[in-house]
Copies of this chain bind each other. A is one copy, B any other.
Amino acid sequence: MIANVDRNSLRRGEPLGADAVAQLFTEARTHNAFHELPVPDALLRDALDLAKMGPTSANQQPLRVLFLTSTVAKERLRPALMSGNLEKTMGAPVVAITGYDLEFYEHLPFLLPHADAKSRFADNPDLAARSAAQNGTLQVAYFILALRAVGLDAGPITGFDPAKVEREFFPDGNIKANVIINIGYGNDAKLFPRSPRLSFHEMATIL
Contact = CB atoms under 8 A, between A and B. Distances in A.
Given A6-B189, A141-B138, A187-B9, A66 B207 contact: yes
Contacts of A149: 15-16, 20-21, 24-25
Interface residues of A toward B: which range?
35 or more
Interface in A16-35: 16-17, 20-21, 23-26, 28, 30, 35
B25 A57 contact: no
Contact of A134 (B110, B150, B158): B158
A196 to B, nearest CB: 6
A65 interface: yes
A28 B4 contact: no
Given A9-B188, A185-B9, A187-B9, A14 B151 contact: yes
Nearest to A95: B207
Contact of A20 (B1, B20, B35, B179): B20
A133 to B, nearest CB: 7
A121 interface: no
Contacts of A25: 50-51, 53-54, 142, 146, 149
Contacts of A53: 25-26, 28, 197
Contact of A110 (B12, B16, B196): B196
Contacts of A146: 25
A179 B187 CA distance: 35
A180 B58 CA distance: 14
A178 interface: yes
Contacts of A57: 157-159
B36 A150 contact: no
Which 4 interchain pairs have the tightest Cβ spacing?
Answer: A141-B141, A73-B207, A137-B137, A20-B20
